[in-house]
Structure 1
Amino acid sequence: MKTGVVILGHGSRAEEAKRVFNEIISMIKEKVNYEIVRGASMELAEPNLEQTIETIADKVDKISIVPLFLFPGIHIQEDIPGLIDELREEYPEIEFEFGENIGADEKIADIMVDRIEKVV
């Protein structure tokens, strides 16, 4: 089974935000062993989730959608699951999985401590 990974961000019109998102996607690609790793945005930027799925659908049997969201807000709870349900109907031959948002992770606290120490 060939798996594709889609990192789903919120999206932004700001060029700097797009650059940082793409840089994170590049870092992830270097750290995983999946041939297909793509970024997608919920809104305000392209490619969106549907566009990204369309470009990889004929190359995979399974797509893991992993949100680059810190908090479990409305996108995580409702919007993204709804989009995935629509994708399952459009691509019944593909298995879709939805990963967890980042949440309260010790690594986030470590990053924040590092940032605090830089300004204190």
Structure 2
Amino acid sequence: MTGILLLAHGSREGDTEETMRRITAYVRAELQNEMVEEAYLQFREKNLEKGLARLVERGADDIRVIPYFLFEGVHIKEDIPAEIEAFNALHPQIKITMGSTLGADRRLAAIVADRVRQIS
């Protein structure tokens, strides 16, 4: 069964989790997949390992980690792959792959343009 883990950087700010819960709900609805969870690389209780474990507990054996990051920095190139590899060493029967960052996508430009228009 395929599970999807949306992975954000995380923040000490309390509204971080509410924002990610909303994004996760939107992705669930868009993909029509109830096996979508969110997790955070830093600062929050729901870390990457716990997010992966929750999906495994729910029956996922093919997990797609989607970084909710704009850029490909050290977290994307080193930290996240290392954590995934460590988890996979303990759960070799689980297939875990990582998708791309949000990056330079024209759809994001439309959101930025909307934010500009909101400023009066």
TM-score where L is the length of structure 1:
0.92
Q: Whole-Å Cα distance in 1 between the matches of residues 20 and 34 of structure 2?
A: 19
Q: Whole-Å Cα distance in 2 between the matches of residues 54 and 21 of structure 1?
A: 18
Moved over 6 A (4+): none
Alignment of 1:33-112 (within 5 A): 33-58=32-57, 59-112=59-112
CA RMSD, 1 decimal? 1.2
Q: Matched residues, percent identical?
A: 33
> What amino acid is aligned across from residue 60 of structure 2 in structure 1?
V
Unaligned runs of 5+ in 1: none
Unaligned runs of 5+ in 2: none
Alignment match, 2:18 = 19
TM-score where L is the length of structure 2:
0.92
Counterpart secondary structure, 1:5: strand
Q: Whole-Å Cα distance in 2 between the matches of residues 26 and 69 of structure 1?
A: 18
